[in-house]
Amino acid sequence: MKKLLTGNEATARGAWEAGVHFASAYPGTPSTEILETMANYKEVYSEWAPNEKVAVEASVGASIAGARSLAAMKHVGMNVAADPIFTYAYLGVNGGYVVVTADDPGLHSSQNEQDNRYYARHAKMPLIEPSDSQEAKDFIKEAYEVSERFDVPVLFRLTTRICHSYSLVELEDRKEVEVKKYKRNIQKFVATPAANRVHHVELEEKLKKLEEYANNETKLNREEINSDEIGIITSGISYQYAKEVFGEDASYLKLGFTFPIPKEKIRNFAKKVKKIYVIEENEPFLETEIKALGIEVTGKDKIPLTGELNPDIIREALLGEKRETVQPNPEKIVARPPTLCSGCPHRGMFFELSKKKGAVITGDIGCYTLGSADPLNAMDTVICMGAGVSAAHGFAKVFERTNQKRKVFGVVGDSTFFHSGITSLLDIVYNKSNATIIILDNRITAMTGHQENPGTGYSLMGEKTDEVDFEKLVRAIGIKHVRTINPNNLDEVKESIDETMELEEPSVIITRYPCVLKKLHEEEKEEFSPVQHIYKVNTEKCSKCKMCLKIGCPSISFDKETGAYIDANSCVGCSVCAQVCTFDAIEKVGV
């Protein structure tokens, strides 16, 4: 049976067909749907971990226990998970083990576009790259065979276009793979210096055998000979782009098993063509390896190093052909900047923080990053997960030691705090800075599509579980000044901020209100009663002062003649606009 699947869905399907028993991940675009799909297969235990390092460590444990296991993450998650990944490559596996990395060329939803193929070389792991959904399903099945045959973890690399593009996939039945019996093996699985000196030598030997496999056995590397004039060496989604540009006018060496690179296969292909193009997104990973073989190629000297590729970019770079395109007219395009949703519970906090002139606000990764944009403009830095807390400590210490009387606020979301904010808060307590950390608890991991986390009380598989209490957690760490507030009550928000302005100790403010788009659990419906009203502007009272526009709500617009007005179709009745209007011109109406 064939079915349209995204690359993420196909990857999960392939892992299921391969007999995987355990899967763990932290949500992050473009990888999130892999685990969401895995959770539908009841033969697989699937979970959201607090962060990618934990996901890898848990799945490594499952692999050592004997089960075929998987960890999935977006590209920057590999940075978080690198420590156990590098070590497990030395140790080898028991049950087959695959790490899926979803890279994001073009930064569609990320803070960088790092090329994680280099992790395969650095960690000495075999690397497999599909170019469509069918290959994603098929290739990950081979990844498990490779893992167990060569006693290595395997890195499986997707990119955004593969993750989210649909194509037809031939479905097959699940291959039941028994969980291997765990036998205690200290020499293999206890990573002491003495043991890993031996393991490193063994790993280098495994890589030699893997290169032989890449050259002579695997069907993931294949030639398509059409012409002796032009040869193209490529992998992943770039293969699809190359085929669209060159069609049957070029020969191809399509690499699906890209590390260790199949050197002999590349040398043989090079002998069959007069000119070689290496087409790959971002870094010259393949190109560098091929040039090291003494083979002359054209690649990044013409093809961009940055951003996504597409057929038009390749056509212009290599053939000098520029297709005519319809250019947008900026004057006629309505600006649609990203913004917090109507009724977002983060809006009130950022509005009040924006009024604290001279304060520094260190931000983090999540929906609330949008608090940095106009008109709120309430954020100084965004770096990576957890840095909103850690950077606040650094700022506070510098200001303290240079006698600068400036207040520092660190802003972090609920899921991000669990991911990497807890240890950062420990740093603040242990090293005594007076930063105030604001935990924006909207009861869900919102930006990636509403995934559960340790603060929601539910697991990925929908099971009721223990809900972590933020206030008890931060008090246990050592924070004495803690306050939990309703972020839609601006008086409460302002008061909680003002209380911390002169404190000489660390403090935490917890805003507790669900994301406006969240489907509430039954117990949440009792705590957060659905709003039974919305708001409208009384034009007779409106002074056209535009104060309501400063909260950045997309439901509020402005007319030069009549003043502000509210879209009744998108207003959710949060009341923040009514609270900022000093003329009482915004009034409640029933729905």
Strands (E), 474-567: 481-485, 507-512, 533-537, 556-559, 563-566
Q: Please check whether residue 23 is in contact with residue 62, taking contact to mean a CB–CB distance below 8 angstroms.
A: no
DSSP letter assigned to residue 108: S
Residues 6 or more apart whose Cβ sits within 8 Å of residue 464: 457, 458
Cβ of 543: how many Cβ atoms within 10 Å?
A: 12
Specify binding-site residues for [4Fe-4S] cluster: 542, 545, 548, 553, 571, 574, 577, 581
The tokens for 220 are 């993931």
Q: Please check whether residue 49 is in contact with residue 20, taking contact to mean a CB–CB distance below 8 angstroms.
A: no
Specify binding-site residues: 542, 545, 548, 553, 571, 574, 577, 581
Pairing mode, strands 45-48 and 22-25: parallel
The pLDDT value given to residue 494: 98
Residues 6 or more apart whose Cβ sits within 8 Å of residue 310: 241
The pLDDT value given to residue 544: 95
Q: What is the mean pLDDT of each run of 10 residues along the chain (591 residues)?
A: 98 99 98 98 98 99 99 98 98 98 96 98 98 99 99 99 98 96 96 97 98 98 98 98 98 99 98 98 98 98 97 96 83 84 97 96 96 95 97 98 97 97 98 98 94 95 95 98 98 98 96 94 85 92 96 96 94 96 94 67
The pLDDT value given to residue 237: 98
Peptide bond into 260 cis (omega under 30): yes
Distance CA 572, CA 517 (A): 10
Among candidates 341, 352, 376, which has minimal Cα distance to 515? Answer: 341
Among candidates 571, 456, 573, which has minimal Cα distance to 524? Answer: 456
Label residue 306 exposed, middle or buried (CB < 10 Å: 0-12, 13-18, 19+).
exposed
The pLDDT value given to residue 87: 98
DSSP letter assigned to residue 227: -
Distance CA 103, CA 94 (A): 27
Map out the domains of the chain with their CATH numbers: 2-216 (3.40.50.970), 221-319 (3.40.50.920), 347-527 (3.40.50.970), 533-590 (3.30.70.20)
Q: Please check whether residue 421 is in contact with residue 384, taking contact to mean a CB–CB distance below 8 angstroms.
A: no
| pTM exceeds 0.85, yes or no | yes
Element (H, E) at 45: strand 45-48
Distance CA 398, CA 408 (A): 11
Compute the chain's Rg from CA coordinates.
Answer: 27
The tokens for 536 are 């409208």
